[in-house]
Chain A
Amino acid sequence: DQQVKQNSPSLSVQEGRISILNCDYTNSMFDYFLWYKKYPAEGPTFLISISSIKDKNEDGRFTVFLNKSAKHLSLHIVPSQPGDSAVYFCAASGVNAGGTSYGKLTFGQGTILTVHP
């Protein structure tokens, strides 16, 4: 049962254009969402996050949007650069039934982004 899903295995974009990576989740107890970026032969590195009390968070060229009612988040990269070519993982964490926060991360399958010069 995949609680965090990235339905697009890959995305190809021209340099300078916008990249939009999507992520859906099913667990309504998730309250914190993160995006990680991974280059080949390296570990994932943190990119940007958003709390469920917000619907947008921006950091330079990267913006994450959260739609709680649709259980959907997206990562926008504007403008895209060839150095952004990597695998992007969406991850989520949340609270348990007792209301205690826990930080275990549940990851999506990843989306391979290729930005062409």
Chain B
Amino acid sequence: NAGVTQTPKFQVLKTGQSMTLQCAQDMNHEYMSWYRQDPGMGLRLIHYSVGAGITDQGEVPNGYNVSRSTTEDFPLRLLSAAPSQTSVYFCASKRTLAPLNTEAFFGQGTRLTVV
């Protein structure tokens, strides 16, 4: 019953450093996505993937990179961390992209602070 697993749970980075937030799901879901949650802004979509080898940009993609080499994993890379990327990051997956099955399952989040 693992569902969606995110690592790490907490991270502090210095400005300019790079890092990868890991996300894995064991439900054989086609669709995976990354969101960031900021006060007063709700959850905003960063990048998403509709299957292995296919990724696309969401609402706030700048400064982030993704890849989807397997169905299970969808890592999010910060190329050069900036204080504006301080946020809580959530990975989510769902079986398919279609709205008729749009229940998304979320990981527990990664709280990132960039100093």
Query: Does B68 reach chain A (CB closer than 8 Å)?
Result: no
Residue of A nearest to B96 (CB): A103
Chain B residues with CB under 8 A of A44: 43, 90, 106
Contact-residue size bin, chain B (C-beta under 8 Å from the other chain): 20 to 34
Interface of A (DSSP majority class): strand
Residue of B nearest to A90 (CB): B42
Chain A: interface residue total (CB-CB under 8 A): 29
Chain A residues with CB under 8 A of B58: 104
Question: CB-defined interface of A27-44 with B at 8 Å, one 1/0 digit per residue?
Answer: 000011010100001111
Chain A residues with CB under 8 A of B108: 41-43
Q: How far is the CB of A27 from chain B (nearest CB, A)?
A: 13
Cα distance, A45 to B106, chains bound together (Å): 7
Cα distance, A93 to B96, chains bound together (Å): 13
> Closest 3 A-B residue pairs measured CB to CB?
A43-B106, A107-B43, A32-B99
List 20 additional contacts besides A43-B90, A43-B108, A103-B96; criterion CB under 8 Å: A31-B99, A32-B99, A36-B106, A44-B90, A49-B102, A89-B43, A91-B43, A101-B97, A101-B100, A103-B31, A103-B94, A103-B98, A103-B102, A104-B48, A105-B43, A105-B102, A106-B45, A107-B42, A109-B41, A109-B42
Residues of A within 8 A of B (CB): 4, 6, 9, 31-32, 34, 36, 41-46, 49, 89, 91, 93-95, 101-110
